[in-house]
Amino acid sequence: MHCSFRTYDQAIEFIYGRINYERVAGVAYSADDGKLERMRRLLSLLDRPDERLPVVHVAGTKGKGSTSVMISEILSAAGYRTGLFTSPHVAAFEERMVVNGQRPAPEHLVDLVNRLVEPVKEMDSSSPGGGPTYFELATALAWLYFLDQGAEIAVLEVGLGGRLDATNICRPLVGVITNISRDHTNVLGSSLAQIAGEKAGIVKPGIPLISGVAAGPAGDVIDQVCRREVSSLYRLGTEIEWRPSTDTSYAQIGSEIEEEPFLIDVETPWGSWRKVPVSLRGLHQGANAALAVSTAGLLAACNLEMSSRAIYNGMSAVRWPARIEIVSRSPLVLVDAAHNWASAEALVQTLEAQFSVRRRILILAATKDKDVAGLLRLLLPRFDSVILTQYQTNPRGVPVEELAALAQATSSRSFHLAPDAPTAWRIARRLALAKDLICITGSFFIATELRTMIVDGAMAIS
């Protein structure tokens, strides 16, 4: 174990060298793997940075990252130095932790990692459950960075589940659960009620919860946990209502048309907001926006200074990569991190409602622990040409031959095979004309792998 690191690459190598459940295929995540005692010990060795900052804690199957960034932008617009912790990252590890949009400089990250070396060394040699994991170190680094930057409040996105997630050490002002659908079933359970039980693990005694979970088995679990913990519950569709503003235009996006944010009206127990801008694409983002606005309203009701202008300004400032994101035009190139049925369905609905193009071309790669057959059944019929591939940045990817076999069992249509993302991109560019759309999806990893290449200019658009 090094006493200290001198370069950014050394520091990153140290972090990446820890066990990383984002990269483990078929992860067998047990109570021992995720128990919070290990995280508590790590934070104790760092003088409990988590106890010095109020938090908004956000869980959910999908939309939790979008909702987190919306809440963060509103808080920043209200004048608070706001920390935001999200995962996974797109291009650089330090994207996971920002304060008012600023991530650590490379030399600052080296300093932060050096503060972890001795605590990790001590835990590696003495902890019965082993030393801290990659995600636990990332969470601890975020806390340290937030304090270094003088953050006054933080928004924490849960990494996986909720009950055993490293972020669940926090002491929140309010909790948020965006929604619940089937994902990570090998980890969280096969039924919606089981998954809801894991997500509801973020509920703290007496701390209010804002929920976007639909009525039914999952919603019932959330209700039961909130009653047990004497936590006030505010539900989307009951205490909280939202709808598109009546004068919102859903103009379709084409190669010559500039898109505009749609507007929503939100009704909450703490106030009403009209024509709130939603800059992220897709009608499903309206629900996420309603949760974010409601969270801001609740914080204001709890004496956190928050003007309506801050809500509008914050929502106008929201940007979030790889969420139905257009990275180029002529042809339109869109990347989206959809990796389960619910997120893929939202993508399809958005494509059909808001994109007017000649032909749709799909580049798809998938992850082993997902419902890949379900993704294929939903996505393949919606595209004129399909290119199946696999990403190289994570070992959990489904091999392209296996993906092809699943596609053949699902559909009689033809498709192209590409051994890697660059090859898939070259095929798509040969197929696409100026008024076509290329959609890259199926996994966060393929979306970010190709996005990085395109945005950085490593892959020519023409």
* CATH code, 405: 3.90.190.20
Q: Do 223 and 348 have their domain in common?
A: no
Q: Do 33 and 93 have their domain in common?
A: yes
Residue 2 lies in a domain: no
Residue 460 lies in a domain: no
Q: Do 277 and 308 have their domain in common?
A: yes
Give the strand pairing for 271-278 and 262-268. antiparallel
The order of strands in the sheet holding 241-244 is 241-244, 262-268, 271-278
Q: Do 301 and 333 have their domain in common?
A: no
Query: In this predicted structure, what is the pLDDT of residue 393?
Result: 82
Q: Do 75 and 130 have their domain in common?
A: yes
Instruction: Kindly report the CATH number assigned to the domain that includes residue 145.
Output: 3.40.1190.10
Which of 290, 316, 342 is a domain's end point? Answer: 316
**Are the beta carbons of 354 and 383 closer than 8 angstroms?**
no
Q: Do 105 and 247 have their domain in common?
A: yes
**Are the beta carbons of 254 and 356 closer than 8 angstroms?**
yes
Domain count, the chain: 2
Q: Do 112 and 165 have their domain in common?
A: yes
- Residue by residue, pLDDT tens for the chain (462 residues) are 456 899 999 999 999 999 776 665 544 445 454 578 999 999 999 999 999 999 999 999 889 999 999 999 999 999 999 999 999 898 899 999 999 999 999 999 999 999 999 999 999 998 766 799 999 999 999 999 999 999 999 999 999 889 999 999 998 999 999 999 866 444 555 689 999 999 999 999 999 999 999 999 999 999 999 999 999 999 999 999 999 997 544 445 554 444 567 899 999 999 999 999 999 988 889 999 999 999 999 999 999 999 999 999 999 999 999 999 999 989 999 999 998 888 899 999 999 988 889 999 999 999 988 889 999 999 999 999 999 999 988 888 999 999 999 999 998 889 999 999 999 999 999 999 999 999 999 999 999 999 998 987 755 554
Q: Do 194 and 229 have their domain in common?
A: yes
Q: Which domain does 251 fall in, by range?
A: 8-316
Residue 146 lies in a domain: yes
Q: Do 258 and 390 have their domain in common?
A: no
Select from 429, 428, 446 the least CA-distant residue to 392.
Answer: 446
pTM of model > 0.85: yes
Q: Do 335 and 426 have their domain in common?
A: yes
Select from 245, 247, 219 the least CA-distant residue to 233.
Answer: 219
